[in-house]
């Protein structure tokens, strides 16, 4: 199986503090990968480095054989942990914006998901709840036919009743040639969809592998293993 993402000896330093410390990972295509760790473990830093929002202090990243940059932005769909959408825009205007900006944006798919979640495309973002705004942003991101989806806390502000729908949306809207990386602390909610897991602790990889194999080897769920590894 070919690897879509290669990370070798990656470092990121902020004011002499290592946010990432010698991270090496190979992430294959066709997988949903959980990037798991407590606050401050380096999850968001790693995602931002893959999306070229930060520059590494050392080491390298390649996505489909390319260093993060203009070329990779065409194949990477990124959901940040905070909204970047303009509050004054209507949802349908955001659809038009994404269609103009991204060649791989599937507007028909996006409208179908809006309908399923009963979100009015003529509503402005500023009239919506925090959870509904997050749903809109996830719909926009998952309606791209990308090679890599980088999702930073995609269900953090969403009500439990909508989480299964959102996880099914993630499963059903990526192909065997693409990879989804989900950063979250809500492990019990997403564990069932994960193919692989990466545990980050103090900027270092402390566990990485196939989710089923890890469960069998450790004799516990990924959620329970996480609680054991990061117990206060």
Q: Are 22 and 70 in contact (CB under 8 A)?
A: no
Range of the domain at 65: 3-229
Residue with the bigger pLDDT between 107 and 229: it is 107
pLDDT at 141 over 60: yes
| Structure token pair of residue 89 | 């825009």
* DSSP states along 43-86: HHHHHHHHTTSS--SEEEEEETTB-SSHHHHTTEEEE-SS--S-
Give the domain CATH number at 102.
Answer: 3.40.50.300
pLDDT at 157: 67
pLDDT at 164: 79
Residue 224's pLDDT band (cuts 50, 70, 90): very high
Residue 38's pLDDT band (cuts 50, 70, 90): confident
Considering its fold, how many domains does the chain have in total?
1
pLDDT at 131: 81
Q: Are 211 and 196 in contact (CB under 8 A)?
A: yes
pLDDT at 177: 85
In terms of pTM, does the model score above 0.85?
yes
CA torsion sign, 97 to 103 to 107 to 113?
negative
User: Could you give the percent of the chain with pLDDT greater than 70?
Assistant: 98
């Amino acid at each position: 199986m070919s690897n879509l993402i290669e990370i070798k000896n990656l470092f990121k330093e902020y004011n002499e503090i290592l946010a990432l410390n010698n991270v090496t990972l190979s992430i294959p295509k066709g997988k949903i990968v959980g990037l798991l760790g407590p606050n401050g473990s380096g999850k968001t830093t790693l995602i931002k480095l893959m999306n070229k929002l930060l520059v590494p202090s050392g080491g390298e990243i390649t996505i489909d054989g390319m260093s993060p940059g203009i070329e990779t932005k065409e194949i990477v769909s990124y959901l940040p942990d905070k909204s970047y959408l303009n509050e004054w825009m209507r949802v349908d205007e955001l659809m038009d914006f994404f269609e103009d900006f991204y060649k791989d944006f599937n507007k028909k798919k996006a409208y179908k998901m809006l309908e399923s979640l009963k979100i009015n495309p003529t509503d402005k973002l500023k009239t919506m709840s925090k959870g509904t705004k997050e749903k809109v942003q996830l719909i926009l991101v998952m309606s791209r036919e990308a090679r890599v989806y980088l999702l930073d806390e995609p269900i953090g502000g969403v009500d439990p009743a909508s989480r299964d729908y959102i996880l099914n949306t993630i499963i059903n809207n990526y192909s065997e040639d693409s990879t989804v990386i989900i950063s979250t602390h809500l492990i019990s909610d997403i564990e069932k969809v994960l193919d692989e897991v990466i545990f980050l602790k103090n900027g270092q990889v402390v566990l990485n592998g196939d989710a089923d194999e890890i469960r069998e080897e450790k004799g516990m769920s990924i959620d329970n293993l996480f609680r054991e590894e990061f117990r206060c």
